[in-house]
């Protein structure tokens, strides 16, 4: 789990400057992933909070709120900030943003079965992202991680995750979507695109 969380933080730190840019290049040497000013974002804080709650059997919403309140200046979205600032533990605001997918990696790593993976992923989403698309994004992402951790190849992951959860994307290719793709922070707009990028990657 330690290596998973470190990898999540490194990926977040490296990718944060490019999050909303229209960077379209295959000249990877020109893309600087380790800029001196880089730091981690809200996604790392939320990922660590979800891992803490799952591993230590804590209340998910309470742990998420406590950890994020302790590290407030990490670029949280407006509705999430309102959730943090509300008294006690407020109800979910039914987000379908990709924050639910960003913070779910511990569920995919920790789960011992598909059913447990779905349950844990749903648990991480529920405090703020209980919209069906928010939950689906978390579940699909965690299942992809779970299947990777259990040695399944990309064709299996495509069949069990992309084809099942995002069938409209099952016949698309990365080259096809790249020219017209734009920044989209919704689960339904970004999770299948991320899965497709992973499935067509060489690593």
Report pLDDT for 45. 98
Give the chain's domains with CATH numbers: 1-200 (1.10.4080.10)
Distance, CA of 197 to CA of 142 (rounded, Å): 16
Q: Which residues pair with 186 in a beta bridge?
A: 97
Report pLDDT for 25. 65
Measuring CA to CA, which residue among 160, 169, 203, 201 is closest to residue 187?
Answer: 169
Report pLDDT for 21. 67
Distance, CA of 80 to CA of 78 (rounded, Å): 5
* pLDDT mean for each 10 residues of the chain (203 residues): 92 80 67 77 98 98 98 95 97 98 98 99 99 99 98 98 98 90 93 96 80
Report pLDDT for 178. 86
What is the Cβ-side half-sphere exposure of residue 138, based on CA atoms within 13 angstroms?
A: 30
User: Which residue stretches of 56-186 are H helix?
Assistant: 60-69, 78-85, 99-102, 105-110, 114-125, 132-149, 154-157, 163-165, 174-177
């Amino acid at each position: 789990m330690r290596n998973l969380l470190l990898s999540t933080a490194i990926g977040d730190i490296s990718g944060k400057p490019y999050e909303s840019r229209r960077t379209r290049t295959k000249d990877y040497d020109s893309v600087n992933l380790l800029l001196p000013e880089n730091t981690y974002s809200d996604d790392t804080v939320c990922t660590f909070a979800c891992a803490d709650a799952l591993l230590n059997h804590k209340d998910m919403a309470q742990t998420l709120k406590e950890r994020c309140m302790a590290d407030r200046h990490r670029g949280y979205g407006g509705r999430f900030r309102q959730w943090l600032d509300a008294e006690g533990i407020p109800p979910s605001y039914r987000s379908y943003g990709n924050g639910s997918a960003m913070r779910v990696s511990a569920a995919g790593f920790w789960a011992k079965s598909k059913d447990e993976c779905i349950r844990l992923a749903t648990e991480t989403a529920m405090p703020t992202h209980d919209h069906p698309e928010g939950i689906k994004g978390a579940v699909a992402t965690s299942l992809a991680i779970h299947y990777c951790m259990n040695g399944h190849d990309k064709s299996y992951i495509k069949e069990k995750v992309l084809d099942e959860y995002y069938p409209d994307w099952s016949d698309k290719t990365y080259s096809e979507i790249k020219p017209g793709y734009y920044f989209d922070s919704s689960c339904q707009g970004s999770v299948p695109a991320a899965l497709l990028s992973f499935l067509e990657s060489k690593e």
